[in-house]
């Protein structure tokens, strides 16, 4: 079989148009930069108003916009054409990729249509759709979330098994036909093969599931730890604050990579330090939720007791089966009661990422609390005789949510970068794991000859983190508006 | 600050001296098929079976180093002298307070000399990173913050968000693939910087420097933009504008100096992050500097070298924090006078 071209049957028609569009775009950008130094000739009219005519700079800008729309339209035709045109040979690589992502496109369109239709009723989330940058970021993030879900739950998008090697496919360029493909096999390696002859596209897509599983949850845990410690540090202050701040600064003064190397090596895992850290860190969400509801329903003992009991039993069981791992020093649960085991490396990675992120969250929360506790409504609650935890959790925390939500988005991105760093140094996750950091690490050795195995996961990671950053920026702008 | 450094070095000492790590050291020094008894004997002979806090104090130089006597009661070996040396002339204390950093087990060299050469190489790289990063970040930030909300502002802000969203290992991989690989045909630069250690040229040194600079740049540019935008709304700028001062003049003479106070502290506080980037970039481009030494030391559990490196890096972080505080006071007349 012939190797696939990038653009399939649409290529001969649309490629020249795309090239022309790019050329016009570059020229018009240069022109508008040069022309922007020419002063605009606004003319004063008789009645005291100013009249301005379109200057050459404005025309250059219009041409630029036109070229941009043209390029976008061509790309959209490629993506859409890939879904409509029958036959993989005719689709080309881009079209075939787009066809594989069909469930994601449908989910994205549904999400956007629903959100835009009801955006006035959705609070801050709805306001995100007033902001083009925030919307673009949200689109990128949702793209990867849907991809991860359809790969992880339904096994939809992947074309081959991400761990199996196929002989004769080592380091093949994108679009190579599969060597000895059977009837049920997908006939091409869409983005080529890596140095162990595995499909780069499937590994990239499967890697998204690893990242989406760990990054948001780890960030959430880091927030729980940071909030539970940061609230009293900021509100009560004094010795407690000095002590906790000292600890936080201690961890922050460490270079992150040194910390990872010290925490995630197999020898340290053997001693059980990560397991003990997990015991401590995973306790915080339970403490947080118990204190939260205890403070809320303190005046209604019956309700309080039921809510707290439910939380303690369910989360306590989950907690115990989470920290109890056969083969580590912390292993005490009988197998019948143990709900789930987290595979080896993931727990260690998870713990170290939480450990690195928590001090920064602590500092942010502490700063916010110190600012908010001087407000009048806090003084009013104190006068009413509310307990300190009620004030912290139900008066101060809801009013600090804006900056915290924005930071949460940014921090998921940062956690993704940290996970990639861990993978890049080959720490924690197993060496054949499809996550992006490990794949980049494996691909970088032959980078100057076969760049495609490293570039695909690099671009994936870049787009996810960029999406999170843009979304955070959009959220910040929108929340500052009112 | 001293307390922080002490706590941190003790933490590293504790983590590198856990039993499994010591076993690895023993097997590295002896042979890999030692039995458990042989490992225990080796550890005892080399002073590893003392209490952790005692060994830490010896390393620090506040307790005398351990010694070992042979069957005749003569001093045979000790922390402060090698088996062949004369015990009489050896000092009793040898820790980092006496300037003895120990010997690296991987490189078979004094830790102080390794750190000196590696730090020199990394310093050279950081110098170029700063030369590239700081001016371009400030220019981008000032241009974006000059007219808040304009088209330039939006483009440059998106650009700086994009650079902060690109970790070094991603931008490094993309830059090498585009500019140094045969696949795209643009072989403008070299994909490794090993030759840049002796003889740095534009061709072999630009890509690693650019990779670090790009990641740090976005953050500084955003801070500069925010501070510039704030200054541009200030009363004195409006007064200057109403007086009829031209726009370039306002930006250069009135706004710029006040807008650069905040970015200065940010630049100093960037050092710890840059250290992170240095480790990644030195590994990616195979440039044998400080970060590369860190990876080697940590990967092989080279206790003395790892301790030395962490002490140096922690001090770098703490000193930059101190400088940023002092510099802030010095630059900001409102704090200086009061």
Confidence class for position B316, pLDDT limits 50, 70, 90 = confident
Q: Quick check: A194 and A171 in contact, CB under 8 A?
A: yes
pLDDT above 70 as % of chain B: 81
Alpha carbon A237 to chain centroid, angstroms? 34
Confidence at residue B185, expressed as pLDDT on a 0 to 100 scale: 65
Percent of chain A with pLDDT over 70: 93
Asked if residue A142 has pLDDT above 90, the reply is yes
Q: Does B181 touch chain A (CB under 8 A)?
A: yes
d(CA B15, CA A301): 46
Instruction: Kindly state the average pLDDT of the residues A296-322.
Output: 84
Which of residues 55 through 94 in chain B touch A, CB cutoff 8 A?
none
> Which of A134-148, A254-268, B98-112, B118-132 has the highest mean predicted lDDT (pLDDT)?
A134-148
Residue A145: pLDDT band by 50, 70, 90 thresholds? very high
pLDDT above 90 covers a percentage of chain B that reads 0
Burial of residue B336, with CB atoms counted within 10 A of its CB: 0-12 exposed, 13-18 middle, 19 or more buried = exposed
Distance (Å, whole) CA B199 – CA B190: 13
Would you say B179 and B206 are in contact if contact means Cβ atoms under 8 Å apart? Answer: no
Distances (CA, A) of A188 to A69, A82, A183, A465, B246: 32, 15, 12, 29, 63
- Residue B289, pLDDT score: 85
Q: Is the pLDDT of residue A298 over 90?
A: no
Query: With an 8 Å Cβ cutoff, is B166 touching chain A?
Result: yes
How would you write B239-301 as a 3-class SS string? Answer: HHHHHCCCHHHHHHHHHHHHHCHHHHHHHHHCHHHHHHHHHHHHHHHCCCCHHHHHHHHHHHC
Q: How confident is the model at residue B71 (pLDDT cuts 50, 70, 90)?
A: low
Set of chain A residues whose Cβ sits within 8 Å of the Cβ of B184: 451
Which residue has 């939006």 as its token pair? B154
Largest Cα–Cα distance in chain B? Answer: 94
CB burial of residue A184 (10 Å; 0-12, 13-18, 19+): exposed
Q: Residue B338 pLDDT more than 60?
A: no
What pLDDT score does A237 carry? 83
Q: Which long-range contacts (CB under 8 A, 24 or more apart) does B119-125 make?
A: B119/B289, B119/B290, B119/B312, B121/B197, B121/B287, B121/B288, B121/B289, B121/B290, B122/B278, B122/B282, B122/B289, B122/B290, B122/B291, B124/B200, B125/B205, B125/B208, B125/B209, B125/B212, B125/B278, B125/B282, B125/B287, B125/B289
Average pLDDT over residues B151-175: 86
Q: Which of the residue ranges A376-390, A414-428, B40-54, B223-237 would you say has the lowest mean pLDDT? A: B40-54
Q: How far is A463 from chain B (nearest CA, A)?
A: 8
> What does the DSSP assignment read for A266-286?
HHHHHHTHHHHHHHHHTHHHH
Least CB–CB distance from B8: residue in A253, A440, A454? A253
Q: Which of B8, B162, B299 sits opposite A250 (nearest CB)?
A: B8
Say if residues A93 and A6 touch (Cβ distance below 8 Å).
yes
A118 at interface of B, judged by CB pairs closer than 8 A: no
Phi then psi dihedrals of residue A151, to 5 deg: -75, -45
Q: Say what the ipTM of the complex is.
A: 0.83
In this predicted structure, what is the pLDDT of residue A196?
Answer: 81
| Dihedral sign, Cα of residue B263, residue B265, residue B270, residue B271 | positive
Cα–Cα distance measured from residue B210 to residue A373, given in angstroms and rounded to the nearest whole number = 44
CB–CB contact A258 B309 (8 Å): yes
d(CA B231, CA B237): 8
Q: What is the mean pLDDT of residues A270-298?
A: 83
Contact A461 B15 (CB under 8 A): no
CA-to-CA dists, residue A415 to A5, A218, A418, angstroms: 36, 8, 5
- Kindly list the residues from chain B whose CB atom is less than 8 angstroms away from the CB atom of residue A438: none
Residue in this structure with the two tokens 């895992």, named with its chain if needed: A269
Cβ separation of B298 and A444 shorter than 8 Å?
Answer: no
Give dist(CA B110, CA B103) in Å, integer.
Answer: 4
Q: Model confidence at A342, in pLDDT bands (50, 70, 90)?
A: low
The average confidence (pLDDT) of chain A is: 83
pLDDT the model gives residue A174: 79
pLDDT higher than 90, residue A464:
yes
The residues in A 390-409 lying below 8 A from B, measured between CB atoms, are none
> A413: nearest CA in chain B?
B165
Chain A partners of B270 at a C-beta cutoff of 8 Å?
none
Residues A261, B299: C-beta atoms closer than 8 Å: yes
Q: In this structure, what token pair is assigned to residue A62? A: 């219009």
Cβ-Cβ pairs closer than 8 A, A with B, add up to 144
For chain B, positions 277-306, list CB contacts with chain A under 8 A. Answer: 279-280, 283-284, 291, 294-295, 298-299, 301, 306
Report yes or no: B310 and B12 within 8 Å, Cβ to Cβ. yes
Most confident of A274-278, A383-387, B72-76, B193-197: A383-387
Closest CA to A441 of A430, A463, A426, A456: A426
pLDDT of A482 reads 62
A468: nearest CA in chain B? B165
Highest mean pLDDT among A385-389, B11-15, B33-37: A385-389
Q: What is the pLDDT of residues A82-115, one digit of tens each?
A: 787 777 777 778 888 888 888 888 999 999 999 8
Sort out which chain B residues have CB atoms less than 8 A from A246's CB and list them: 4
Distance in angstroms (rounded) separating the CA atoms of residues B65 and B80: 6
SS (H, E, C) A322-371: HHCCCCCCCCCCCCCCCCCCCCHHHHHHHHHHHHHHHHHHHHHHHHHHHH
CA distances from A201 to A96, A175, A404, A424 (A): 11, 11, 35, 19
Instruction: State the pLDDT at residue A76.
Output: 86
Residue A302, min C-alpha distance to chain B (Å): 47
d(CA A347, CA A428): 9
- A254–B314 C-beta distance less than 8 A: yes
Angle at B198 between CA B192 and CA B204, to 5 degrees: 30
pLDDT band (50, 70, 90) for residue A412 = very high
| Integer Cα distance of B25 and B166 in angstroms | 37
Give the model's pLDDT for residue A340.
Answer: 64
* Pairwise CA distance, residues B311 & B332, whole Å: 32
Answer yes or no: do A448 and B309 touch at CB < 8 A: no
Encode pLDDT of B198-230 as tens digits.
777 777 788 888 888 888 888 888 888 888 888
pLDDT at B333: 65
A425 contacts chain B (CB < 8 A): yes
Instruction: Return the C-alpha torsion angle A143, A144, A147, A150, nearest 10.
Output: -100
pLDDT higher than 70, residue A349: yes
Q: Which structure tokens are listed for B288? A: 């044998």
Q: Mean pLDDT check: name the lowest of A333-347, B21-35, B40-54.
A: A333-347
Round to whole Å and give the CA distance between B61 and A4: 67
List the single residue in A256, A267, A413 with the smallest CB-CB distance to B20: A267
pLDDT above 80 (res A211): yes
- What confidence score (pLDDT) does residue A140 get? 92
What's the token pair of residue B150?
Answer: 């304009």
Burial of A182 (0-12, 13-18, 19+ CB in 10 A): exposed
Residue contact A257–B280, C-beta within 8 A:
yes
Identify the residue among A172, A458, A470, A475 best suited for mutation to test binding to B, counting B beta carbons within 10 A and taking the highest.
A458
Mean pLDDT over the full length of chain B? 78
d(CA A236, CA A247): 17
What tokens does A383 get?
């006068």
Q: Residue B18: phi, psi to the nearest 5?
A: -70, 150
Question: Which residue in the set A61, A253, A271 is minimally distant from B18, CB to CB?
Answer: A271
Picking from A191, A267, A412 by the largest number of B CB atoms within 10 A of its own CB, the best residue to mutate is A267
Residue B156 has pLDDT above 90, yes or no: no
**Residue range B74-93: mean pLDDT, rounded:** 61
Identify which of B151, B170, B306 has the shortest CB distance to residue A458: B170
Q: Is the Cβ of A65 closer than 8 Å to some Cβ of chain B?
A: no
Phi/psi-derived region of residue A426, left when phi > 0, alpha when psi is between -120 and 50, beta in every other case: left
Inter-chain contact A273–B15, Cβ cutoff 8 Å?
Answer: yes
The reply to whether A452 touches chain B by the CB within 8 Å rule is yes
At residue B152 the predicted structure's pLDDT band, cuts being 50, 70 and 90, is confident
Mean pLDDT is lowest, of A59-68, A130-139, A436-445, B65-74, for B65-74
- Between chains, do B167 and A270 touch, taking CB under 8 Å as contact? no
Termini Cα distance of chain B: 25
Per the CB < 8 Å rule, is B165 touching A256? no
Show the tokens assigned to B256: 């710029």
């Amino acid at each position: 079989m012939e190797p696939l071209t990038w653009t399939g049957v649409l290529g001969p028609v649309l490629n020249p148009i795309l090239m022309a569009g790019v050329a016009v775009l570059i020229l018009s950008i240069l022109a508008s930069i040069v022309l922007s130094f020419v002063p605009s000739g606004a003319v004063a009219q008789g009645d005291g108003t100013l009249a301005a005519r379109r200057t050459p700079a404005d025309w250059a800008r219009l041409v630029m916009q036109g070229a941009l729309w043209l390029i976008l339209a061509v790309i959209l035709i490629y993506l859409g054409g890939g879904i409509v045109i029958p036959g993989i040979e005719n689709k080309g690589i881009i079209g075939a990729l787009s066809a594989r992502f069909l469930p994601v496109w449908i989910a994205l369109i549904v999400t956007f249509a629903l959100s835009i239709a009801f955006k006035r009723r959705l609070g801050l989330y709805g306001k995100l759709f007033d902001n083009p940058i925030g919307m673009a970021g949200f689109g990128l993030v949702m793209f990867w979330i849907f991809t991860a879900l359809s790969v992880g739950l339904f096994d939809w998008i992947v074309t081959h098994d991400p761990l199996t090697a196929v002989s004769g496919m080592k380091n093949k360029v994108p679009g190579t036909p599969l060597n000895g493909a059977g009837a049920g096999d997908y006939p091409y390696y869409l983005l080529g093969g890596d140095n162990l002859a595995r499909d780069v596209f499937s590994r990239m897509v499967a890697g998204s599931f690893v990242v989406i599983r760990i990054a948001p949850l780890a960030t959430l845990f880091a927030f729980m730890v940071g909030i539970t410690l940061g609230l009293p540090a900021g509100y009560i202050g004094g010795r407690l604050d000095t002590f906790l701040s000292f600890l936080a600064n201690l961890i922050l003064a460490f270079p992150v990579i040194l910390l990872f190397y010290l925490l995630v090596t197999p020898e340290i895992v053997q001693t059980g330090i990560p397991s003990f850290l997990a015991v401590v860190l995973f306790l915080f969400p339970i403490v947080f939720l118990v204190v939260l509801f205890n403070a809320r329903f303190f005046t209604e003992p019956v309700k309080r007791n039921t809510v707290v009991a439910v939380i303690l039993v369910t989360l306590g069981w989950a907690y115990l089966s989470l920290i109890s791992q056969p083969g580590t020093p912390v292993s005490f649960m009988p197998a019948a009661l143990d709900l789930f085991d987290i595979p080896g490396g993931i727990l260690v990675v998870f713990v170290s990422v939480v450990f690195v992120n928590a001090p920064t969250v602590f500092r942010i929360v502490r700063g916010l609390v110190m600012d908010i506790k001087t407000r009048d409504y806090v003084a009013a609650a104190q006068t009413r005789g509310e307990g300190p935890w009620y004030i912290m959790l139900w008066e101060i925390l809801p009013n600090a949510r804006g900056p915290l939500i924005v930071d949460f988005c940014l921090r998921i991105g940062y956690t993704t970068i940290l996970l990639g760093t861990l993978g890049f140094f080959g720490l924690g996750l197993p060496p054949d794991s499809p996550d992006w950091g490990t794949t980049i690490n494996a691909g970088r050795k032959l980078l100057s000859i076969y760049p495609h195995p490293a570039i695909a996961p690099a671009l994936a990671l870049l787009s996810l983190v960029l999406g999170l950053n843009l979304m955070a920026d959009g959220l910040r702008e929108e929340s500052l508006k009112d | 600050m001293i307390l922080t450094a002490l706590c941190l070095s003790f933490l590293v000492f504790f983590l590198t001296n856990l039993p499994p790590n010591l076993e690895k050291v023993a097997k590295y020094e002896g042979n890999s098929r030692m039995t458990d008894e042989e490992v225990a004997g080796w550890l005892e002979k080399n002073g590893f079976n003392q209490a952790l806090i005692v060994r830490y104090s010896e390393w620090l130089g506040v307790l005398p180093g351990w010694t070992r006597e042979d069957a005749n009661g003569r001093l045979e070996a000790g922390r402060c002298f090698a088996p062949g040396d004369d015990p009489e002339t050896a000092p009793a204390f040898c820790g980092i307070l006496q300037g003895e950093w120990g010997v690296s087990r991987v490189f078979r060299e004094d830790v102080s000399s390794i750190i000196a050469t590696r730090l020199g190489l990394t310093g050279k790289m950081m110098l170029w990173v700063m030369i590239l990063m700081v001016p371009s970040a400030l220019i981008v930030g000032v241009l974006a913050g000059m007219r808040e909300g304009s088209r330039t502002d939006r483009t440059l802000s998106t650009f700086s968000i994009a650079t902060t969203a690109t970790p070094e290992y991603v931008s490094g991989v993309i830059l090498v693939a585009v500019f140094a690989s045969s696949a795209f045909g643009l072989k403008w630069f070299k994909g490794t910087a090993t030759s840049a250690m002796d003889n740095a040229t534009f061709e072999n040194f630009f890509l690693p420097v650019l990779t670090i600079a790009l990641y740090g740049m976005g953050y500084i540019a955003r801070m500069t933009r925010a501070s510039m935008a704030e200054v541009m709304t200030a009363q004195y700028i409006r007064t200057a504008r109403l007086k009829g001062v031209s726009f370039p003049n306002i930006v250069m003479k009135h706004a710029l100096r006040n807008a650069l106070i905040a970015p200065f502290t940010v630049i100093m506080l960037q050092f710890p992050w840059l250290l992170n980037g240095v480790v990644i970039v030195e590994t990616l481009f195979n440039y044998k500097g400080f970060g590369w030494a860190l990876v080697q030391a940590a990967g092989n559990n080279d206790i003395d070298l790892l301790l030395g490196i962490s002490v140096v890096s922690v001090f770098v972080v703490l000193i930059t924090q101190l400088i940023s505080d002092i510099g802030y006071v010095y630059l900001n007349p409102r704090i200086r006078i009061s």
